[in-house]
Amino acid sequence: CSEEEDYQLVQESRFALGTYNQVTVYAPSEEEGQDIMDAVFTRVNEIENLMSINVEDSDISKLNEKAGESSVTVDPETFHLLDLGKEYKELTDGTFNIGIGTLIQLWDIGGDDQQVPEEAEIGSLLNHTDLNQLILNEDSYEARIEDPEMIVDLGGIAKGYAVDQAVQVIKNHGVEHAIVDFGGDVYVLGGNPDGNDWRIGISTPEIGESGVVGRLFSSDMSVVSSGDYERYFIENDQLYHHIIDPSTGHPTDNELSSVTVISDSALEGDILSTAMFVMGLEDGLDFVNDLEGVEAVLITKSKEVYLTTGVSDLFEIMDEEYTLAD
Ligand code: FAD
């Protein structure tokens, strides 16, 4: 009998982190598969309750509420992500900045109050995104925002972290083959039980399109995309999407329509895909080429697909409207 028949495929999708989160495991039995699902989503809920800006008593809500007033003691997990946020702001030359929470709130893209704000308001909030104002004490896990008008938002980092944690839970249950897909932040554990790599579709970065530009062959990797087609609104024929350029306070406007990062950490992929999207094609490619163990697929608005060297043999175009750049 084939290896595949030794497994029970169990799949479930639950809503959390503002998105649908799909988990597929090849478990020894249906019952064990269900236990794994419960354990995974319990873990995801823990992370959401610590890090969501929309949960009233989360660490992040408390930290933001006390901005300019006092320190709050946060969970070591929250502390770790705040610390990484500061580190990656430096590494990405400010293109990834967890301190732009007020701008994210002002635009509220995908939310009930989404709007094109006044330029003056954007200009004024740009003065309150300095992450040096976020003070972290690693001995006591205390965090403090000095600037009373600054807030932090982990929306660009915590989903990737949740994916990695979900994978850890699945591994702890002894499962060797699984796919975790939290709203486009994907991790493929092991290879496909048929003995081949997984085939992961890279979404067509166009509004209203549900197809794929191509597919990537991969095992034991995270594949995380950021794009302008996911969360957006249109006003006066202009598209406003959710990836904010911290240098302008506006949705990023360059030649890119999506960036997919392939690495061994969804957390890192989440951060880097957002950062590279803000950097644009040339700077994004230069940036990723200097990183070890990180590959990328960048798709432009003019339907050209750029691949880093490490994935050039692992990606196959499926939509003939798109062409591979040299
Ligand atoms: P990515 O490109 O990975 O990230 C974009 C997100 O990062 C933006 O939505 C914004 O939050 C933030 N961001 C934008 N620009 C930058 C930048 N330059 N630097 C740093 N960060 C940036 N959505 C809901 O609708 N309701 C909810 O209750 C809700 N709760 C959530 C709770 C948690 C803990 C998390 C992690 C997410 C939640 N979300 C919720 C979803 C969230 O608002 C984003 O849509 C989602 O995290 C974006 O992920 P992405 O992979 O689509 O985009």
Nearest CA to ligand 1 atom 43: 155
- Please tell me if the CB atom of residue 259 comes closer than 6 angstroms to any atom of ligand 1: no
Nearest CA to ligand 1 atom 29: 18
Task: Confirm whether 50 is domain-assigned.
Answer: no
User: What mean pLDDT is predicted for residues 109-135?
Assistant: 96
- Verify that 244 and 287 share a domain, yes or no: yes
What is the C-alpha separation between 104 and 54, in angstroms, rounded? Answer: 13
User: Is the CB of 270 inside a 6 Å radius of any atom of ligand 1?
Assistant: yes
Note whether 95 and 186 are same-domain residues: no
Residue 275 CA: nearest ligand 1 atom is 18
- Same domain? For 71 and 204 the reply is no
pLDDT confidence of residue 210: 86
Q: How far is the CA of 151 from the centre of ligand 1 (A)?
A: 14
Domain membership of residue 136 (yes or no) is yes
Kind plus residue range of the DSSP H or E element containing 221: strand 221-227
Query: At residue 194, what are phi and psi to the nearest 5 degrees?
Result: -75, 0
Is the shortest distance between the CB of 216 and ligand 1 below 6 Å? no
Mean pLDDT throughout 107-122? Answer: 95
Mutation probe of ligand 1 site: the residue of 55, 102, 159 with most atoms within 8 A of C-beta: 159
**pLDDT tens profile 66-90:** 999 999 999 999 999 999 999 999 9
Residue 39, domain CATH: 3.10.520.10
Q: What is the mean pLDDT of the chain?
A: 96
Ligand 1, atom 24: closest residue by C-alpha: 18
Q: What Cα–Cα distance (Å) separates residue 259 from each residue in 82, 158, 167?
A: 24, 18, 22
The CATH number of residue 133's host domain is 1.10.3980.10
Domain co-membership, 170 together with 307:
yes
How many residues are recorded in the chain? 326
| Enclosing domain of residue 81 | 59-145
d(CA 192, CA 218): 9
Cross-strand pairs, 233: 240
If you measure from the C-alpha of residue 239 to the centroid of ligand 1, how many angstroms do you get, rounded to a whole number?
A: 18
Is ligand 1 within 6 A of the CB of residue 59? Answer: no
Q: Which helix (H) or strand (E) holds 259?
A: strand 256-263
Q: Is 170 found in the same domain as 72?
A: no
Tell me the pTM. Answer: 0.96
Specify the residue with its C-alpha closest to ligand 1, atom 53. 226
* CA–CA distance, 41 with 16 (Å, rounded to integer): 8
At 5 the pLDDT is: 57
Residue 1: pLDDT over 60:
no
